[in-house]
Chains A and B, each alone.
Chain A
Amino acid sequence: MEIEGYHFPDDLYYDKEHCWCRVEGNVVVTGTTDFAQKMAGEIVYVQLPLIGKSVTQGKPCAALESGKWVGRIYAVVSGKVVEVNEELEDTPDSINGGPYEQGWIFKIEPSNLEEDLKNLMQGDDLVQFIKSEIIRVAAEKK
């Protein structure tokens, strides 16, 4: 779906840190949203988590830099990192080009998927949240 110019695929789950996840069989693919990449601007560095690292839902586990700002990337679900998108180390701006496709960041083998998904947003909840974020950004610009 499109929310005021920002793209959010319907089959993904989203958190309030502007990260997304997609369940693919036994693993969960994660990344950062179109809204987040637009707020950040051109991404120039990405630090990926180590494969095998245990991550906890809502906790930072990776980082990126855009415009002299270092932002954190949060684990959308808890589990173990099983794969990382190494291409981002050479071409971090792939996140800007396709945050849900070539810009995926890492994959997690989830440890508590069913419960974790309950804490994430889809549909109307997501629309409401993103709209409130857009209002905040617009208010700042005035």
Chain B
Amino acid sequence: MIAQFVSQHLPALQVVVPLIAAPVCVLLRRPTLSWLFALIVTWICFAMSIALLIRLESAGTIVYEMGGWPAPWGIEYRIGMTSAIVLVIVSGIGSVVMPYAKASVAAEIDPARHYLFYTCYLLCLCGLLGVVATGDAFNLFVFLEISSLSSYVLIGLGRDRRALTAAFQYLVMGTIGATSIVIGIGLLYLVTGSLNMADIAARLPEPGTNRTVLVAFAFLGLGAALKLALFPLHVWLPAAYTHAPSAVTAFLAATATKVGVYILLRFIFTVFGATFAFTTMPLDAMLLALAVAAMFVASAIAIFQNNVKRMLAYSSVAQIGYMVLGIGIATQAGVAAGLIHLFNHALMKGGLFMAIGCVFLRTGSVRLESMSGIARTMPWTMAAFVLGGLSLIGVPLTVGFISKLYLIRASFEAGLWPFGVLVVLSSLLAVAYIWRVVETAYFREPTAEAARATEAPLSMLLPTWVLIGACVYFGIDAELTVDTAFRAAAALMQANP
């Protein structure tokens, strides 16, 4: 009875549960109590997203009408294969970061504000899940702003005063991005008279016959690119990730940009259609060029960073390049490779940022200098970092290898073999910046700080290793991710042939 009730309303509950939980967190007020409550809620969310993915095995897409109003008039939630994958990533990372957050937040944020931290965290989770679940264009914007506004707050909670300027910069750029998205949606509404994405797709005029559609496409592309930090619109990302509290960085790095990629996919494939985006508009060429630029420039900048968090943030920009490269290849294999990397990168970057958060907890610094010899006193943390780093480079038996394998294969199949070569070459840059950390941590004499440091508490180490373990597990047994990603890509390509 209850199981049937829950399964019937899963798409709504997925978003509504964290939305209801957020104000309850405000009422609870006590730090531990609100943490425990938020922890349970994130786990429930994760369970629900898994249940949705399982239910998709039998049903093609799950459609849920909000308020009982049918689709073109009411707001419709539409879960397909792609959205199910992203839902699992977002809620999964959300639930793994939560146990980690307790010790990390206790060290970095004033106890009187803990309940507000968890409230914002839940709101951010709700926004991200809502963006993915909804089938309504304007609803997407509203959820995007819910997640963005709460993430500005979360970033601004960082201890350093530069967290404030980083949050402000992100606020300005994020708002421009989100406003561009509304302009795009408005123009689409002007042309089609509908806000439902599937309905818009059906009502759009023949490609190339309507200039308003072109402008709408440009605005939506710009907004999505700003949100996913596509090079050269990434300038907000490094500062924001560097100065945000450790738990926030781990959560946002693994989820926020992924949802940005999802928005791009959603608009390209299910609204405008691949033909319009890649034939009428030269989006594939643009994405390929920007992706390659991101892969090389951001990786090169990462090598010269002395702040390890900032280094990983630049590496994130480069990794986003790989995802976008997959989309730019514009074949089913390419999009699937992009999706595989989306999933895999969430695992490894989440794990890496969590490992650095452990170091920050014990030494109070994320500078490279202060990490010399740290592997002697924090062996488990650094072992996690090394494994995550190997995955970032793309060493076999890690998820990074799987991503790059499929990216290279897709580019060769599409006749774009130079891009396959570029993927390999840019991986060499990753070797450089990961090696700098490894060399400092393992082969230098410990500083006084590093020698005094002790291993991170189990509550932080365990979640870190869960993600790093997943990196290795899905690196060895990639069948599940690859299979799901290919099915999602097939659904996307079919959506609007």
Report whether chain A binds chain B. no
| Chain B positions near chain A (C-beta within 8 angstroms) | none
| Chain A positions near chain B (C-beta within 8 angstroms) | none
